[in-house]
Structure 1
């Protein structure tokens, strides 16, 4: 064989071997992903089934056998119930850590055009009513909860009837009714405990579980509201039934103040209900929207609610709901540590429409997606209030900053604009950085949001905004433009922006997305339709409905950037924090049992409940705090290495200086079609898009008031339901980005 032939054969065999190894690695990678995903689904389904079967005769027997099998172990009955009810959700959180770290979606997947098909999460079923817009997947969840409550009531009622002879054969009909009412009250309490297992899961902003299912906090909040209303009804029935029984027996005063050691502490339960009632009343929409601060402050009473709940039901019963509460504790402590860090605002811009744009510094290793949001506190205004704002910039805008748009609609935002204007006026030259005395300081929690840029999965996008709801969509537009410029994966090639505003001076906000050298013909078609509802015609003859905003640039310390201790921060550290704290909880609970509870035969229900809560808090503070300390040291080291040599010059140069009028013409304003005295007709807009589109997935995103969400959702549902008649039509996927707290 010739040398060249031998060389070619070796290369061929080497390439084939490498390809075979790559194929094997890909297979093992896919297999590991499938195993992890299947394991999490199996645990979750088994966990849900458990709640359904426990009230039945079979479930009652299973529970009794389970507790008996683990009787005499270190943790006793508390450990048995903890393993049965709380361990599954913690196990899912554990498995979610490697899944998120190693199996993150590849951006190449966003370039794949997928067949148009319906999704349960994006198909609106209910569009009007007290629950707002409800998707098919959410409707399934609601039905499951209703079925669970009704089935549990049925099984418990049947069991109570069977237990009546145990109270005596000579009971009168009246006494039987009283006993049934008393046992029904107890059963309502058991159902409450099952619902409490889910109550705190949706409001853990950076929860590993929310990141796993890619549902952001601002969307999951509504599930917390729904569950809160259901639990309040069940708790009210629980207490009302007991009150009626006590009234019939004439023992209300003595029962109200009773603090049992071998059962529920009634006084603790009444205090717990009083706290819950206050939280529930102030969370009602009329009260919350008019007195937001009252709603916010009373919601902080959840700490007392949890403590008195544990005192009322004891450690064994409290362990049923402990999993969700523990994960919320982890998130809350992490947010507390993150918000301790003060941030220097890089620059501030006041637009004529009353909106303020803030540029905030961030470390290069803090990642987020375009639909992210932050919670902001400005201490010069108040050190108590935190307000959520959508990020208006793309993560591709720059490594060292992000932007938010804040519209002045309330007292806090008005004070913010006044602070920015005052600080700008005190500076002698706005083109030069301010001195530290003129610096605006803030604290930041976040950014939070979706784990993946899911808007890139749709071939066409329809962005519907009302007023300040334009902010997250400016981030989407900026992200798409940057991706096309940088030749990064980007499936959307047609974007329709529908924006309803009150006055035309709000149009200047479109100038925040700089087109630069980007042309609409560069593989992207953008349609911008603006509807000015309170003006019948253009107020200025030459069509210039904007003025240059006033900007201010501030000096920035290299270390005064956002903390990476957040739900969207480093995945390895976030996972380590969850795992270390959970292991720490088991260790602390073990030490307490070995050296205190078992040797001294501690058996008072209320005291065991209090000790259980103390163990949870101690594990978060000690083991979680140690992890956060190491995470913080790593952050400082990494941030210093990745910082630019002369500070964040990228921010000042690209965002700090005022933009002249000629540069505005390069932005999206020049591409907008403005209609005065009209509101958008979504039937016409989506109908026209359906006629000119084939079988593609169209992502419809809405950010605005409830009426706007309902109108768009109703039309999406109508278009999808009429798809069979139209034949070759697109599927409209409804996505809400409205944050209603």
Structure 2
């Protein structure tokens, strides 16, 4: 057994043990038998009454996170083949855990019902117990809440997940936890009102739970819940780092490609995203876009493509096409997966809704090395458009500004170094006149659905076959792949991704391994 396999087994055992603790926590066994023994041995003067919770509920995940960093580093150094993990994320299973916990909490508490006042009725005491235990169950949601969105996490890669692919689970857990804690808070307010104890709302206990602190937390959490809604979040998401925008290409389909200057040492994986903010359009709106360039092929450039899908993108295209000298853009990122595990496959099939090829001076041997084959299907054109009907690309070059800096690693030390370098570099480029060519040579439009730009190298042109007036037969294409291990990555419209997934899971071929890439949260 390899050392890497031993690591994975240790991580699995620790994680399962952590889950068992959460399962046993609300039971009579844990409360009556385990709790007295654990508290007498684990609670200390330093940790007060939290020693048990720290060791059983916090330490296991801290252990996995710390040693997971070592595991991922060793795996990268050894360039070992990525072993696909089986990840089971089931909402019904998690709901079952919550129902199990709430049921056991109520069973134990109703069996030893504590009456806070002599005149208190039994049903009132049970109502209070239910309100309290709803908060306990909410703690389970919080225990899992932040795993899905921790960028650069050392835990998610262990099970083959990324932050971006797990955001929907974070949103789901956030809504569920807020519902439970809102019910917990409202339940206690109703209980205090029924038993004439509204003065309890002003209690600030020094030795036990502080009601005032809980009410403040509830108000702040409610504000976070409301402002995290899709409509408000898209308009008011903040961050800032001004980037040097070198040029923009207005593509014939109406989209725009933004080309930023980047530090040659900045490395990012495929499918990484970059958050953009354009203050002249909105100082508060930030929008995520997929990085379309490769840091291995373009050492000093980073590109994203913006489609005209909303008011913000419409205004961006209008501003760029208005012959302006420069455009101030702030960025956050890039963020993305910590590994390119899909490269482990013998053959890789990429299915997408658009095709955008580079116009840079990429060496032709790179394309030959990967044995690239491109099949482009133009559904709305019966034949290749004539030269008179072809729409040329328009490239706009922006004047550099000494306040802008190339996109680099997001750390304070690097930022200070780059700030010094930008001040020196800014003096050299302040009066630099940059030509603005009208179009990129050899650029042409193939169709409304799929765009194919200039083919800078003969090897790339030979690898590309364009089909006019036809849709791809995805089933035939995938089943014709004879390699023993075929990775199928689908990105684009939901209907298309579902069609590809259905083919891969049909059982007609056991060599197809499907992965979906979606950038819609």
Q: Same fold (TM over 0.5)?
A: yes
Judge conservation of contact 2:98–2:140 (CA < 8 Å) in 1. Answer: no
Equivalent of 1:186 in 124, 127, 132: 132
Equivalent of 1:685 in 452, 470, 474: 474
Q: CA deviation at 1:410?
A: 1.8
Measured at CA, do residues 231 and 512 of structure 1 come closer, stay the same or move farther in structure 2, by a change above 3 Å? farther
Equivalent of 1:664 in 454, 465, 483: 454
Partner of 1:375: 275
Secondary structure of 2:405 counterpart:
coil
In 2, the alpha carbon distance for the partners of 1:354 and 1:362 equals 25
Are 1:549 and 2:380 an aligned pair? no
Relative to its length, the structure with more helix (as a share) is 1
Aligned pairs for 1:439-518 (under 5 A) are: 439-466=326-353, 470=354, 509-510=356-357, 517=364
Equivalent of 1:561 in 400, 406, 417: 406
Measured at CA, do residues 517 and 531 of structure 1 come closer, stay the same or move farther in structure 2, by a change above 3 Å? same
Partner of 2:313: 413
Equivalent of 1:67 in 39, 49, 54: 39
Q: CA deviation at 1:163?
A: 0.4
Are 1:674 and 2:518 an aligned pair? no
Partner of 1:96: 68
Partner of 2:492: 704
Are 1:245 and 2:89 an aligned pair? no
In 2, the alpha carbon distance for the partners of 1:100 and 1:375 equals 26
Measured at CA, do residues 191 and 693 of structure 1 come closer, stay the same or move farther in structure 2, by a change above 3 Å? same
Secondary structure of 1:346 counterpart:
strand
Partner of 1:218: 164
Are 1:138 and 2:89 an aligned pair? yes
Partner of 1:85: 57
Measured at CA, do residues 76 and 526 of structure 1 come closer, stay the same or move farther in structure 2, by a change above 3 Å? same
Partner of 1:57: 28
In 2, the alpha carbon distance for the partners of 1:263 and 1:346 equals 59
In 2, the alpha carbon distance for the partners of 1:389 and 1:70 equals 48
Equivalent of 2:262 in 350, 362, 378: 362
Alpha-carbon deviations, 1:105-130, whole Å to 9, x = none? Answer: 655748xxx9xxx9745xxxxxxxxx
Judge conservation of contact 2:134–2:184 (CA < 8 Å) in 1. Answer: yes
Secondary structure of 2:141 counterpart:
helix
In 2, the alpha carbon distance for the partners of 1:298 and 1:270 equals 26
Partner of 1:737: 517
Q: CA deviation at 1:207?
A: 3.1
Aligned pairs for 1:227-266 (under 5 A) are: 227-251=173-197, 253-256=198-201, 259-266=204-211
Secondary structure of 1:96 counterpart:
helix
Are 1:199 and 2:145 an aligned pair? yes
Judge conservation of contact 2:85–2:160 (CA < 8 Å) in 1. Answer: no
In 1, the alpha carbon distance for the partners of 2:396 and 2:99 equals 60
In 2, the alpha carbon distance for the partners of 1:447 and 1:218 equals 12
In 1, the alpha carbon distance for the partners of 2:488 and 2:96 equals 32
Equivalent of 2:289 in 368, 381, 389: 389
In 2, the alpha carbon distance for the partners of 1:409 and 1:181 equals 50
Q: CA deviation at 1:191?
A: 1.4
Are 1:160 and 2:98 an aligned pair? no
Measured at CA, do residues 220 and 701 of structure 1 come closer, stay the same or move farther in structure 2, by a change above 3 Å? same
Are 1:147 and 2:96 an aligned pair? yes
Work out which structure has the larger RCO, using CA pairs closer than 8 Å and 6 or more positions apart in sequence. 1
Segments of 5+ residues of structure 1 without an aligned counterpart are 1-26, 122-136, 301-335, 427-437, 475-508, 566-627, 724-728
Secondary structure of 2:129 counterpart:
helix
Judge conservation of contact 1:214–1:452 (CA < 8 Å) in 2. Answer: no
Are 1:348 and 2:235 an aligned pair? no
In 1, the alpha carbon distance for the partners of 2:237 and 2:397 equals 37
In 2, the alpha carbon distance for the partners of 1:150 and 1:343 equals 49
Judge conservation of contact 2:394–2:438 (CA < 8 Å) in 1. Answer: no
Q: CA deviation at 1:349?
A: 0.8
In 1, the alpha carbon distance for the partners of 2:366 and 2:53 equals 62
In 1, the alpha carbon distance for the partners of 2:299 and 2:363 equals 19
Are 1:47 and 2:14 an aligned pair? no
In 1, the alpha carbon distance for the partners of 2:401 and 2:150 equals 31
In 1, the alpha carbon distance for the partners of 2:137 and 2:205 equals 22
In 1, the alpha carbon distance for the partners of 2:368 and 2:412 equals 50
Measured at CA, do residues 561 and 236 of structure 1 come closer, stay the same or move farther in structure 2, by a change above 3 Å? same
Q: CA deviation at 1:357?
A: 0.9
Secondary structure of 1:216 counterpart:
coil
Alpha-carbon deviations, 1:387-426, whole Å to 9, x = none? Answer: 111111122212222211111222222222223223xx25
Secondary structure of 1:104 counterpart:
helix
382-391 vs 233-242, which moves further: 233-242
Measured at CA, do residues 708 and 694 of structure 1 come closer, stay the same or move farther in structure 2, by a change above 3 Å? closer
In 1, the alpha carbon distance for the partners of 2:246 and 2:516 equals 31
Aligned pairs for 1:510-549 (under 5 A) are: 510=357, 517=364, 524=371, 526-530=373-377, 532=379, 535=380, 537-538=381-382, 542=386, 546-549=390-393
199-208 vs 178-187, which moves further: 199-208
Measured at CA, do residues 540 and 363 of structure 1 come closer, stay the same or move farther in structure 2, by a change above 3 Å? closer
Measured at CA, do residues 238 and 661 of structure 1 come closer, stay the same or move farther in structure 2, by a change above 3 Å? closer
Partner of 1:5: none
In 2, the alpha carbon distance for the partners of 1:96 and 1:700 equals 28
Alpha-carbon deviations, 1:73-131, whole Å to 9, x = none? Answer: 22312354333322332222222332233331655748xxx9xxx9745xxxxxxxxxx
Q: Compute the TM-score of the two structures, normalised by the length of structure 1.
A: 0.59
Measured at CA, do residues 540 and 96 of structure 1 come closer, stay the same or move farther in structure 2, by a change above 3 Å? closer
Alpha-carbon deviations, 1:608-659, whole Å to 9, x = none? Answer: xxxxxxxxxxxxxxxxxxxx5556567789x99xx9xx99xxxx99x99823
In 1, the alpha carbon distance for the partners of 2:187 and 2:490 equals 44
Judge conservation of contact 2:250–2:395 (CA < 8 Å) in 1. Answer: yes
Secondary structure of 1:696 counterpart:
coil
In 2, the alpha carbon distance for the partners of 1:58 and 1:343 equals 58
Q: CA deviation at 1:344?
A: 0.8
Secondary structure of 2:349 counterpart:
strand
In 1, the alpha carbon distance for the partners of 2:107 and 2:257 equals 62
Segments of 5+ residues of structure 2 without an aligned counterpart are 445-452
In 1, the alpha carbon distance for the partners of 2:43 and 2:271 equals 50
